[in-house]
Amino acid sequence: MLSAERAGSSGTDRAGQRQENMKKIHVNTSSEYDILIGSGAMRELPAVLKNAVNIRTVAVISDSNVFPIYGEKCLKYIEEAGMKALSFVFPAGEGSKCMKTYEEILEFLCENRLTRSDALVALGGGVTGDLTGFVAATYLRGIRFIQIPTTLLAAVDSSVGGKTAIDLKAGKNQVGCFYQPIAVLCDPDTLKTLPESEFKCGMAEVIKYGMYGNAPFFSELLDRDAKEFVDDVIGTCVSMKRDIVTRDEFDRGERMLLNFGHTFGHAAEKCSGFKLLHGEGVAMGMAVMTRAARRFGYCDDMTVELLEKILDKYGLPKEMPYTVGELTEAALSDKKMMGSEINLVVPEKIGKCVIEKVPASVISDWLEAGGVKC
Ligand code: NAD
Ligand code: GLY
């Protein structure tokens, strides 16, 4: 809990004022936590750490792009809480979301004798969050961690809901578990240093929220520039994600809607040797899936036109640079395949998708129907 315990105590007036300007979203999953969204959210780190009793050492896990910008500030806040601050920095990029980095971080934590009552901070994008979350879930059978997302994608999606993972050669996120953070501190000001290409990737996930469950939000994204109201964009997506993970924390039903565009997107990422950015894959995956949905009678021309229009507006790709054969092979190794069946998230209209369990043998038909070259 962030603010309830703090309100009214004499030394925390400024913190209280800061928090008044922020949006707080409470997540009520197997373990509960707050997400604080707003300028200066990282400044709440000392309070979060102090509230989480018994922490003596905090290790900040971050990548080689993010740590030089925000690392020192984060370490300073940990020290301000009276705790020992350590850092582990890995090379930026999806390639680091792997067994090797995972093992290196675990060894680092052992060498520095972090105990079960200590904590980690994931400072960065989805790669850092997924990797750190998996380390936190498994080191000494679980230590606490805090998410500080610094990409749009991490702010709207990966920092919330407790999916942690690393990749294998066989595919994305093949090893992982559900493990919730104790808090998420999301400061949209960090997006000012984010490269434009990465902002665009985050927009793919933002558009996904409009497509699967929020037509008015989709229209607003089409009519306005998301950058003009980015705090609200993050707040809307996080509220939607909170609602879905509260009802289906372990991804057995409704939560699969959040995978709209991801089955073919992950396949494209795999085909590219993970050179394609996650958001680019998701954008292509959404476009292919929506065109296929039209072909199979799930949605109309307008749905396809509007999706393609919004992808164009935010500079996202609509066409797959891989063949039906390549993508089919990659998609079938995806963990969403259940035996000989695969779950597809199919749009019926803007703001509504359904989950269809289909035989794996028809994947190539869907890709072809979505305009992928043979
Ligand atoms: P990322 O973490 O690699 O960050 C993208 C790039 O931006 C990196 O080069 C990073 O160093 C840089 N960067 C990050 N913040 C910055 C900042 N503020 N200023 C300057 N540079 C900055 O990638 P991502 O797009 O954030 O996340 C993609 C990952 O998230 C994928 O592995 C995907 O599978 C995962 N994901 C997980 C979930 C989930 O629910 N756990 C959901 C969606 C995506
Ligand atoms: N990003 C998909 C999920 O959290 O379920």
Taking the CA atoms of 120, 122, 127 and 133 in sequence, report the sign of the dihedral they define. Answer: positive
What integer pLDDT is reported at residue 52 of this predicted model? 96
Specify the ligand 2 atom closest to the Cα of 255: 5
For the chain, list the domains and their CATH numbers. 20-192 (3.40.50.1970), 195-369 (1.20.1090.10)
With tokens 């790709």, the residue in question is: 317
Q: Which of 160, 163, 180, 257 to mutate to test the pocket of ligand 2 (most atoms within 8 A of CB)?
A: 163
Q: Is the CB of 255 under 6 A from ligand 2?
A: yes
- In this structure, what token pair is assigned to residue 322? 């891989």
β-strands 337-338, 84-90: how paired? unpaired
The structure's pTM equals 0.94
Mean pLDDT value across residues 130-150: 98
Which residue's alpha carbon is at the smallest distance from atom 3 of ligand 2? 258
**Distance of alpha carbon 320 from alpha carbon 235, whole angstroms:** 31
- What pLDDT, on a 0 to 100 scale, did the predictor assign at position 108? 98
Q: Please work out whether the CB of residue 259 comes within 6 Å of at least one atom of ligand 1.
A: no
Span from the CA of 176 to the centroid of ligand 1 (angstroms): 17
Answer whether 258 contacts ligand 2 (Cβ < 6 A). Answer: yes
Q: 223: CA distance to ligand 2 center in Å?
A: 26
Structure tokens at 144: 């606490």
- Cβ of 208 below 6 Å from ligand 2: no
- Our mutation pick for probing the ligand 2 site, out of 249, 254, 259, counting the most ligand atoms within 8 A of Cβ, is 259
pLDDT tens-digit map of 220-232: 999 999 999 999 9
Is 157 a pocket residue for ligand 2 (Cβ < 6 Å)?
yes
Q: Please state the atom number of ligand 1 nearest to the C-alpha of residue 173.
A: 34
Dihedral angle over CA of 274, 278, 280, 286, nearest 10: 120
**CA of 11 relative to ligand 2 center, distance in Å:** 38
Residue nearest atom 38 of ligand 1, based on CA coordinates: 158
**13 CA distance to ligand 2 middle (Å):** 36
By DSSP bridging, strand 337-338 and strand 183-186 are unpaired
Average pLDDT over residues 269-293: 95
Which of helix, strand or coil describes residue 89? strand
Q: Does any ligand 1 atom lie closer than 6 A to the CB of residue 128? A: yes
Tokens of 343: 């779950």
Confidence of residue 12 (pLDDT cuts 50, 70, 90): low
Atom of ligand 2 nearest to the CA of 163: 4
Determine the Cα–Cα distance for residues 106 and 207; give it in Å rounded to an integer: 36
Residue 324 has pLDDT above 90, yes or no: yes
Between CA 38 and CA 101 the distance in angstroms is 31
Tokens of 201: 């990737």
Beta carbon of 249 within 6 Å of any ligand 2 atom: no
> Rounded to the nearest 10 degrees, what angle do helices 196-213 and 278-295 cross at?
30
Q: How confident is the model at residue 21 (pLDDT cuts 50, 70, 90)?
A: confident
Q: pLDDT of 168-214, one tens digit each?
A: 988 889 999 999 999 999 999 999 999 999 999 999 999 999 999 99
Query: What average pLDDT does the chain have?
Result: 94
146 CA from centroid of ligand 1 (Å)? 16
Better pLDDT: 4 or 320: 320
Mutation pick for ligand 2 pocket among 248, 255, 345 (CB with most ligand atoms within 8 Å): 255
- The mean pLDDT value for 293-300 works out to 98
Nearest CA to ligand 2 atom 2: 258
Residue 177's DSSP bridge partners are 164
> If pLDDT is split at 50, 70 and 90, which confidence band does 236 have?
very high
Cα separation, 282 vs 207, whole angstroms: 10
